[in-house]
Chains A and B, each alone.
Chain A
Amino acid sequence: MIPQELKYTKDHEWVKQEDGRVRVGITHHAQQELGDIVFVELPAVGRKVEKGELVATVESVKAVGEVYAPAAGEVVEANSALESSPELVNKDPYGEGWIFVLKVADPAELGELLDAAGYESLVGGQG
């Protein structure tokens, strides 16, 4: 269930490296814990963020998931499809349910991310 090619954070985000940029979403495990996603608050494109800063929130009926920046940088894309179809996060968390793309200032900051095996041991194969 856990895509091998992606990196992960302990906060249940996935990170896909794309040429000095990273695409970020929440994992299958995270969307399952939240339940039916009803709203995603997206960051403004162009916003500068610090590593660990709160960038987006993913809301279900009774819970709010927070999405943090995996590294410092600038938000260059936000998935506006989620505005009208937040359920994409449930249906396709690693694909159409991506949340934002970040242009990373210092790629070295991504070194702390978990690989698929590391994330799998964190969630016990529930990724």
Chain B
Amino acid sequence: MKEYIPHTPEDIRAMLAEVGLQDVEALFSDIPREVRGRFRPLGLPPRDEDWVRRHLSGLAVASSGKGLIPFLGGGIYDHFIPAVVEYVLSLPELYTAYTPYQAEVSQGTLTWMFEYQTMVCELTGMEVANASMYDGATALAEAVLMAHRTPGGRRVLVPRSLNPRHREVLATYAWGAGLELVEVPYGEDGRLRLSQVPEGVCALVVQQPNFFGMIEDLSGLKDRLGEAFLIVSVNPISLGVLEPPGSFGADVVVGEGQVLGLPPSFGGPLLGIFATREEHLRRMPGRISGQTVDAEGKVGYVMAFQTREQHIRRERATSNICTNSALCALAATVYLSALGPEGLRRVALLSFERAHRLAEELSALPGFEPALPGPFFNEFPIRCPDPEGAVSRLREAGIAVLPPEELEKAGLTGAFQVAVTERRTPEELSLFVSVLREGR
């Protein structure tokens, strides 16, 4: 008998008697004998708790990457996570609850979702937000599907400077839905260069800052698109100092919310941010918490606009999404509450400042120069004569950066990329520079 299953032999006898069966095997008599006969076990003995703890702890230490200083970004960043975030995420009534279908016993979940939606709207400058998608990449793909449903058109303008992994996920979804991705190049400064908007376009995607860390100029883009959607994929930390896409007429803002209180976690779970304008509310995918009152007039929250969702509208739903990234959205809610507006701006500016300091010092090294001269946030590509060599020297010194092959996916050659957050200390910056200086 395992520790998670409480049935004693006496319990089992009593329950079987109620059901009118002789033994447990009889409970499975409706599974065809042939199917049961083909069954093969895994060959796994049961293990005690300490054995499992040791085994997985062993795998946890078997990755040397944990010890590297992460100057590594490309969509996932090493920001500081306040201790209160883990505290709240460990509260059992929050993490062991299901989707809040029964509102009266889910006011905790529904209230923080409402708070989260408010914060996402504030960050992005949008009017409505959902309670999360799986991650930034699938949030982007869903935004494109929503654009396809709204103004119509089968073509999607996708910049070459979009995170290549997000582009790959988008391409999978787009192929499924029969959409065509049309590439938009970037200019010499690394920023979007939109020459013309072809016929049949349902959306333009822009990443802010883009994959290379460059700050895009969003002004005037929506005017050129007309009915077609302007979809902006953001790094939410940057919105502490960058004007929100809502100010530039964005129809949908999506983003990877990992930076808001979640560790890198080998890439999952993540947090898909999704916000739009009120006029598009009924076409938005995902869950929403809405404020209402109870039978006594007391304020409370329910899941609103469920008729958009798959469990009611089935094949006509706005998406198939059901389980989302709720607990990660809770992390973001706690993170933003702990930081407040001033803290968020400080994290953004500290990351910005340290990135610029490092870029300046690296550019002073002979042979090193910024690969793209545009304005950047906290990540930048560096060009040098032997980027692979530079990356391996850094690794030997205990530093991880984004290697050239990742940049080549977005069409940039001869460079590696550096991301800097507020966690990178002056000593770590000095080490970085000295490794490359001495390595020459």
Chain A residues in contact with chain B, CB under 8 A? 39, 41, 59-64
Q: Residues of A contacting B306 with CB < 8 Å?
A: 61-62
Q: A62-B307, A62-B312, A64-B316 known; 12 other A-B pairs, CB under 8 Å?
A: A39-B282, A39-B307, A41-B282, A59-B307, A61-B306, A61-B307, A62-B306, A63-B307, A63-B312, A64-B307, A64-B312, A64-B313
Mark interface residues in B306-321 (1 if CB within 8 Å of A CB, else 0).
1100001100100000
Q: Residues of B contacting A39 with CB < 8 Å?
A: 282, 307
Cβ-closest chain B residue relative to A54: B316
- Nearest-neighbour CB distance to chain B for A63, whole angstroms, equals 7
* Complexed CA–CA distance, A5 and B282 (Å): 36
Number of A-B contacts (CB under 8 A): 16
The B contact surface, by secondary structure, is: helix
Nearest first, the 6 A-B pairs at minimum CB distance are A59-B307, A64-B307, A64-B313, A64-B312, A62-B312, A63-B312
* Complexed CA–CA distance, A62 and B103 (Å): 14
* Complexed CA–CA distance, A64 and B312 (Å): 7
* Complexed CA–CA distance, A60 and B306 (Å): 10
Cβ-closest chain B residue relative to A41: B282
Residue picked from B306, B307, B312, B316, most chain A C-beta under 10 Å: B307
Q: Residues of A contacting B312 with CB < 8 Å?
A: 62-64
Q: Residues of B contacting A59 with CB < 8 Å?
A: 307
Q: Residues of A contacting B313 with CB < 8 Å?
A: 64
Q: Residues of A contacting B316 with CB < 8 Å?
A: 64
Q: Give 10 A-B contacts (CB < 8 Å), ordered by A residue.
A: A39-B282, A41-B282, A59-B307, A61-B306, A62-B312, A63-B307, A63-B312, A64-B307, A64-B312, A64-B316
- Nearest-neighbour CB distance to chain B for A62, whole angstroms, equals 6
* Complexed CA–CA distance, A59 and B318 (Å): 15
Cβ-closest chain A residue relative to B316: A64
* Complexed CA–CA distance, A63 and B306 (Å): 9
Q: Residues of A contacting B307 with CB < 8 Å?
A: 39, 59-64
Cβ-closest chain B residue relative to A66: B316
* Complexed CA–CA distance, A61 and B309 (Å): 12
* Complexed CA–CA distance, A17 and B313 (Å): 31
Within 8 A of A (CB), among B368-402: none
* Complexed CA–CA distance, A58 and B313 (Å): 12
Q: Residues of B contacting A60 with CB < 8 Å?
A: 307
Cβ-closest chain A residue relative to B302: A61
Q: Residues of B contacting A64 with CB < 8 Å?
A: 307, 312-313, 316
Within 8 A of A (CB), among B275-291: 282
Within 8 A of A (CB), among B283-339: 306-307, 312-313, 316
Cβ-closest chain A residue relative to B304: A61
* Complexed CA–CA distance, A39 and B305 (Å): 10
* Complexed CA–CA distance, A39 and B282 (Å): 10
- Nearest-neighbour CB distance to chain A for B216, whole angstroms, equals 36
Q: Residues of B contacting A41 with CB < 8 Å?
A: 282
Cβ-closest chain A residue relative to B306: A62
* Complexed CA–CA distance, A59 and B304 (Å): 12
Q: Residues of B contacting A62 with CB < 8 Å?
A: 306-307, 312
* Complexed CA–CA distance, A59 and B282 (Å): 12
* Complexed CA–CA distance, A85 and B292 (Å): 18
* Complexed CA–CA distance, A41 and B282 (Å): 10
* Complexed CA–CA distance, A64 and B282 (Å): 13
* Complexed CA–CA distance, A39 and B304 (Å): 13
Cβ-closest chain A residue relative to B317: A64
Residue picked from A41, A61, A63, most chain B C-beta under 10 Å: A61
Cβ-closest chain B residue relative to A38: B307
Cβ-closest chain A residue relative to B313: A64
* Complexed CA–CA distance, A64 and B315 (Å): 12
* Complexed CA–CA distance, A59 and B281 (Å): 15
* Complexed CA–CA distance, A60 and B316 (Å): 16
Cβ-closest chain B residue relative to A64: B307
* Complexed CA–CA distance, A39 and B306 (Å): 12
* Complexed CA–CA distance, A15 and B306 (Å): 29
Cβ-closest chain A residue relative to B314: A64
Q: Residues of B contacting A63 with CB < 8 Å?
A: 307, 312
* Complexed CA–CA distance, A60 and B307 (Å): 8
- Nearest-neighbour CB distance to chain A for B205, whole angstroms, equals 28
Cβ-closest chain B residue relative to A60: B307
Mark interface residues in B266-278 (1 if CB within 8 Å of A CB, else 0).
0000000000000
* Complexed CA–CA distance, A61 and B316 (Å): 16
- Nearest-neighbour CB distance to chain A for B309, whole angstroms, equals 10
Q: Residues of B contacting A61 with CB < 8 Å?
A: 306-307
* Complexed CA–CA distance, A63 and B316 (Å): 13
